[in-house]
């Protein structure tokens, strides 16, 4: 049985005091869940969120990292830096980073290898645009993104990687993929992994859905056969709403 992983992606939201308040409010609401609870916060909130989440079941993640260890990369943060302060998860290749900050399949692959070498748990995002969905190329897009992200990884590394299927047209739009479409697309990703890495890996790799997940649709999405939880944007900003998503059943 694959574990459900429910991760919040705050994007560029919340000051440190708001982050601390959020963790304090969330903690009693999710302490009895069997699901993995992750909150991916801005760099400047990491230290505060980590402190508040100590001795709780809430895991803290970053939203990006650089693939290099150190050096002349002004404004960047390395995986080693995240690891050193106790960060457990890192989102890689979010579509906003691909669209606004020139993230490519190649850079995602490099970052992924680095994250895995540091035992950071990566959440790698893939997903098609509306145009690609409507022209019938969604399958080709998500399987190619998956293949290129995972290129050169060992079976164990793929097993340690979480994939988030996030159709771009569903992000922040209030338009959720139907549970059938989301499940079918995630099956395409799982089949691609099966072709490349075999049954054992395909069966154990966690694949989330992301894109306008909220408490009112979490249950129908997360109870589908291949959807192993979610990556939640807007609805992860309020502790009460996010806790309902975590406790979707
Ligand atoms: P929303 O849940 O706000 O649509 O964002 C999804 C997302 O991008 C999570 O990474």
Task: Tell me which residue has its CA closest to atom 7 in ligand 1.
Answer: 233
Domains, the chain, in order of start with CATH, read 5-246 (3.20.20.70)
Contact between 229 and 206 under an 8 Å Cβ cutoff? The reply is yes
Which of 60, 71, 67 has its CA nearest to residue 111?
67
Which of 62, 60, 164, 160 has its CA nearest to residue 113?
160
Give the rounded percent of residues in the chain with a pLDDT score beyond 70: 100
User: 176 pLDDT exceeds 90?
Assistant: no
* Residue 124 beta carbon below 6 angstroms from any ligand 1 atom: no
Ligand 1 centroid to Cα of residue 245, in Å, is 13
- Residue from 6, 11, 41, 128 whose mutation best tests the ligand 1 pocket (most atoms within 8 A of CB): 11
Q: Which atom of ligand 1 is nearest to the CA of 11?
A: 10
Which of 165, 62, 146 has its CA nearest to residue 108?
146
What tokens does 115 get?
């994250």
Task: Read off the pLDDT of residues 119-137 as tens digits, 9 standing for 90 and up.
Answer: 999 999 999 999 999 999 9
Give the rounded percent of residues in the chain with a pLDDT score beyond 90: 97
229: Cβ contacts below 8 Å, ≥ 6 apart: 3, 4, 5, 6, 7, 35, 36, 206, 208, 209, 222
Q: Which residue has the tokens 């508040």?
A: 52
């Amino acid at each position: 049985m694959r574990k459900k992983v429910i991760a919040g992606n705050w994007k560029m939201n919340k000051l440190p005091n708001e982050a601390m308040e959020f963790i304090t409010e969330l903690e009693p609401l999710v302490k009895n869940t069997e699901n993995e609870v992750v909150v991916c916060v801005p760099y400047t909130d990491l230290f505060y969120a980590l402190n508040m989440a100590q001795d709780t079941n809430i895991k803290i993640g970053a939203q990006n990292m650089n693939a290099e260890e150190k050096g002349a990369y002004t404004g960047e943060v390395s995986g080693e830096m995240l690891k050193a302060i106790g960060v457990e998860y890192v989102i890689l290749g979010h579509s906003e980073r691909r669209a606004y900050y020139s993230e490519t399949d190649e850079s995602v692959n490099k970052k992924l290898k680095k994250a895995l070498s540091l035992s950071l748990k990566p959440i790698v995002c893939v997903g098609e645009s509306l145009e690609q969905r409507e022209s019938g190329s969604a399958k080709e897009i998500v399987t190619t993104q998956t293949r290129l992200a995972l290129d050169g990884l060992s079976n164990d590394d793929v097993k340690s990687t979480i994939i988030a299927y996030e159709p771009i047209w569903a992000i922040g739009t209030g338009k959720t993929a139907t549970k059938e479409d989301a499940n079918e697309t995630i099956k395409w990703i799982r089949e691609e992994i099966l072709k490349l890495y075999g049954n054992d890996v395909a069966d154990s790799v966690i694949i989330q859905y992301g894109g306008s997940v909220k408490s009112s649709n979490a249950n129908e999405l997360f109870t589908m056969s291949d959807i192993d939880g979610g990556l939640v944007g807007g609805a992860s900003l309020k502790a009460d709403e996010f806790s309902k998503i975590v406790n979707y059943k």
